[in-house]
Every structure is written in C-alpha cells, then in structure tokens.
Structure 1
Amino acid sequence: MRIFTVLSTTVLLCGVAAFGQTKLAATPPMGWNSWNHFAGRVTDADVRSAADMMVSTGMRDAGYVYVNVDDTWQGERDAQGVLHPNKRFPDMKALGDYIHSKGLKFGIYSSPGAKTCGKYAGSLDHEAQDAKMYADWGVDFLKYDLCSFEDNMKKVQAEHPDDPEAANKLMIAAYRKMGDALKATGRPILYSLCQYGVAQPWTWGPGLGANMWRTTDDIDDTYGRMIAIGFSQAGLAKYAGPGHWNDPDMLEVGNGGMTTDEYKTHMSLWVILAAPLLAGNDLSKMSEVDKNILMNKDAIAIDQDVLGRQGDRLFQSGDLDVWTKPLSGGRVAVGMFNRSWSNREVTVDLAQIGFKDGANVRDVWKGKDLGRRTGVVRDWLPKHGATLLIVGK
C-alpha cells in the first residue's frame, strides 16, 4: 500500500544473501494479506475468519500458509516505547497463537518511518524493540512499507545535494536496521521489503537479509494495471532465486474487477515470474472459479518449482507475448498471452525452447495432457486471455 510518490531510482549494489534466507523462503512465499479487500477496516475477527477459510477451502493444503495483517492494526506507544495494538486487535499474541493452531503462519506490517501509509505508528527509532515484540508474538513474516520515510529521504537529499545517492543510502540503511533487528531476535521471520522498486532493491535486498522485495508500485484490481506491472518484470529473472524473490505485489484474483480470462492471465503471469502468491480477496465469498484459479495444482507447481528460477519474456509481437520459465527435470513452463481486444492466435516453436525433437505438452487451465507435439504449438486465445503450458520430454 502506498499513498505518495517516491524519489527517482538509481542503482546501489550491496552484498550477498544472508545465511538462512534460502531455508526460510526456498520457494516463493504463499499466503493471504488483508489489505486488498479489507484495507483499513480489518479486525481480529476478520483475520481469524481468513485463517479458518484457508483451512476449510483447501488453500492451506495447496500451499497458502501465511496469514498477514497489513496496515492499521497499531495503537499507541506507552511511556517505555512499547507499541500496543488498537481496539480492533485486542491481543496480537493470541491472534498469532490462533493462526499457528491452524497450521498456518502469522504475518504483520510496519514501516521504517514514524508513520505507516495509514498514518499509524511506524517503527522509526523502535526497530529492535518492535522486532523483539514481533518475535514474542510469534510473528513469521514482516512487510516493511516505505511510506512516510520518504520525508526523511527528501530531507537528507536536500542536506547533501552533492551526493545523488544520499536519500537511497538512508533508505537502505533503514531497511538494513530492521533486517539486523529481526535477525537478532533469533526467530526466523520472513522479511518483505515494500518500497516500490526504489533504487532497484533486487541489487541490494539480499545483502540486507530480505527474502522478497517489491519491484513496482501498487497493483489494483484492473486488467490494465495488472499487466503493466506483470510485463514490466522482463529482465529481472537473474535477481530471483531460493531465499530471495522479486515481488510484483499481491494477487487480485476474486476481488471482482477483472474477468475470468483476465484473472487467469494474472495467475499465469505471476507463476511464470516465480512471484510470491499472496491472495487478497474475501475468502468467505470465493466462487468456484476463484478457487480453481488460486488453487490450480499445476499453476502452483510452476510457481513453487524446486529449481527456483524466475521466467522471462521469450518474445513479444504487438499485443501478443510468450514467456518461459525453466522447471526442474528439464521441463519448461510457457505462458502465452493475448493483450488485444479480440481473439488471436498465439504460437510457440518448441525447438526455440529446447525441444527440437518434440515434447509432451500439458495445458494447465484446460487440465489435460495434449500429448506429444512437434514444431509449433498454437492456441486461439480470447481477448485478455492466456494459455499456460508445461512442456517436457
């Protein structure tokens, strides 16, 4: 979530992945986040209900394990600086215990600034104190959102006009400070940087102990915004892998703003990108179509493949795209996308993706094996539609 414009970006290179990152997020994290549906209205009861639904719908067993409370849970700090939750969240440890009792993991939200996006208390100058509190509550995931820290960045940049990197250095130091604080607790807490791609976090996030980082500004529940974000990920594949993932933001599947074909495009693109899969819908009102998209076993298997490779664009021709993702066992996932407003034929040459003698092809959304194919594979896609294939010998 974001409510302001950030500074322009520049590259700052930092070290290598911290010990333990790979074990903590060996595959892209999967779960649910409260923001896209509930925003600032979320309550303890809403989160407990989401945890219940993740079990009863089969989402947990499909791999969605994090239950993340986004912004607006915070209350005020006491005289000792301890941050207490507000009246909508009477007992955060009890909430975490409830989530854990369901075989799920507990996520929370804060900001390196004095305030969060929703103008609630952030963690500035309380990083170690907050990290210890999260660990005491049993938190397993922290989303750390830039928000009001932009004011600090603007101030330091004005003070150091001869250093064009001053603001970005300050931001990276702030994210490092919380990363160190989380590590010091001794509890494995997945660290998610939410800073909208500022200063190209894929180049420095691993050195701070981060497990994922936002590569773009916020998504919304529209086809145009979703594809703008998704297709902008071309070229970032080399920065992702076990323990550290590019994050193009949460899933909008089931929130009602897109068609079924558009939501299949959304899911297809995100799994090709090895993106974290964080659902953001009202789980109590999921349709069977929503469930079939979010819990498609083949699609999830592409995202969660043990090889840990992000996909990239193979080619683009006008409104047609083909993307591929290397999979374990010498297989390849292929995403074929039609961004036009009419039905179009999209093709992929199997020889071009390493199968000059042909391959076995499975259509993920049709849920069936297409048999052995050679040469060019073709499909007619509806407007804004996608085909997702698994190709292997």
Structure 2
Amino acid sequence: MIGMKRVVITGAGTINALGHDVPSTLEGMREGRCGIGPLDIRDVDRLAVRIGGQVTGYDEHAHFNRQQIALYDRFTQFTLLAAREAIGQAGLVFAGELAARSGVVLGTAGGGVNTWDENYRTVYEDGKNRVHPFVVPKLMNNAAASHVSMEWNLKGPAFTVATACASSNHAMGQAFWLVRSGACPVMVTGGSESMLCFGGVKAWEGLRVMSKDACRPFSLGRNGMVQGEGAGVFVFEEYEHARARGAEILAEVIGFAMTSDASDIVMPSRQGAARAILGAVTDAQIAKEQVGYINAHGTGTAANDKTECAAVSDAFGAHADELMMSSTKSMHGHLIGGTGAVELLACIMALRDGVIAPTIGYEEPDPECALDVVPNEAREAKVDVALSNAFAFGGLNAVLALKKV
C-alpha cells in the first residue's frame, strides 16, 4: 500500500480484575490467575448472577478529588488511569503541532452505566425530583474520550465507538487507520466498561447467557459468560515518529478488518467471523501460516465458542490445528465494550515475551472446539504474528493483527 505509514504501539495501560496496571495484569495471565469472584455491589442478593470480574481494592478517592468524582463515572475513571499508564510509558508530551494532530478514539458499550443506575434509583426509588447537574456529561458514552483529550491536550480526532462487545476493537481499528493514513502521528486508543451494578447485571441476566459459577471457554461443561469491568488504553504511533525519538516499541499493528453478519441480533455467524479474520490477514499482507496465536473472543457461551472455532477452522484450513488460541475472559471476565483492549495485552505478551496466556477453567474437551486452546497453564512459544478477535451482538465483527518488532 503506497504511502501507508507503519503503526506501532509505544504505550499500554490497564486496570481490570487481574490487576491495576499492565505488569500485574500480565503476571496474572502468566499465572493463570482467576480474577472472577463474588460481586460486592448494592442489592446483590436480588440477583441470580452474583459473580463478576470486579476491580477490587480500588478507591476512587486515592486517584481523584471530589470535583473530579462528581464528573467521572467509574468507566471514565478507569480510562483515565489506564491512559495515564500508557502515555507515561510512551513518554509523549502533547504540545504544538503534535497536540493539534493527535487524538483519541475509545470504545464502550454502555458508557456511564453506574451513573444511570444511581440516578434512576434517586428518581424512581427514593422519589427525589432533582438529580446532579452533571448527570448527562457523566453518563454520556464519549465522556471518557473527552476527558482523556482534555487531560493530555489531544486536539485532533476524538470520538467514541459503541458496538457492544466489539467496541474497543472497532475503536483501535479506527485509530490504526488514522495513523496509517498519515492523518494523525499519534492516537490514544482502547476501551473501557463498568456495568457491574444492580441494573447492569440484571439486564444481562435477562439474556440467559450468564454463568452463575465460572467462565470456562471451549470446555464441554461451560454454561455461559461472566461480566468483567475495567479499561485498556494504548498509544498507537507512526513508526518513523516513534523511532526518531527512540521510543520503546511494544508491537506493530499490521492489519484490521471488520464485517457484519447481517443475519441475527444475538446469534453469531461463522461466515461473518471468518470473513473478518481473513480480512485482517489480507490487510496485513501476510500468509495465513504466519499467524501463531489468536486471542479468541471466547465468551464461554455454547454459541460463541463453537462458532468461533468453526470460523477459525474455515479461515485457516489445515493451519488451524497448528495455531494456539486462548480466551483470557476466563480470568478477567467479559469487559463488554472494553474487552478487546484488555485482551490486546495478551497478544503483546505473546509477541514480546513469548508467553501465551491460558484458557483457565478448562475441564473437558468439546469435540466442537477441537483447536489448541492452551488449557489452564500459560505456555512459552515463539510467535511472530497474533490476531485479536471480537464478535459482538448485532453481528459486528472486528479483528486486529499484530506483529513482533
């Protein structure tokens, strides 16, 4: 592709059920630690599902003052903390021309769900007739992106993508395109979600896709997904720009594709997923055989797991049997709109450190999921190219391809 820029990742940040930063999260993935546990939320006794990948040991007052807390929903707080880590690692200061052309694109499915929940309670349950004047700016889906742009002086493209469970992969794909095209030298990107409140969990219960005990992707006895919360944020930078300033490069983003199943609002399609996988490989201009690891969407539902395995088999043919594919949702839960961002860390770990994060909770092989899902224990392996899958309700698929640098 003539005139296309190379795009590299120079910073990463996260907060999720496995850890409050990247090193502790990667350590959790290497250990195969389970971050899923009993929910500590109001009215949990009224829920049928009482587990989640909750961020524990978190005190908002340790990071933000009272005025900020009045403005920042939990999903925005998580985003700002992850962005601080990522931009700190990248070592960038946004001023002048760099600030004018750099931006932020983030994914979230629900935005300020905790704020919705609290204020519905205030009005409907407590019977109050007034809410805080900042409720709208606190709950809007673009709040996190806007606050990131303000805190780091990012004056270029800034927006939010909401495509359910593919939100952050779609967001990172847009950021990749903006840098690759030459429109922006740097983009801050990723996603976040925090809907582990009574209303958020109750809504998901209604779908009857939730497990009451554990997330066991690809395992025969699996019985559903488990919600998580948190954020993952990255600095995507044009390669020459990064090299000129001597930045440490974590990985290169080499391809992205998105497709729509155009078939069903909740049932996934193996054809739609396979087209997205092949699209990312084609966009990356690599041979299928170069892909060594896939971070699966791997939700632990019967429908997703077998459809995804079929799609990978369709896309890769005989090479599917040589691939490693794991689902880290077994450890940190399904972060909905933020899930692809946290899962990208597993791809970076595979490429940089040669460590493949495991699919934990795996008890019994499922003949319909007969791929190498790296069961229960992390594995050392040399990987040059990794894919990250995200397949969302609404039939929206987004796949990123990354390469070792």
Q: TM-score, normalised by structure 2?
A: 0.30
Bigger relative contact order, structure 1 or 2 (CA pairs below 8 A, ≥6 apart): 2
- Which of the two has greater helix per residue? 2
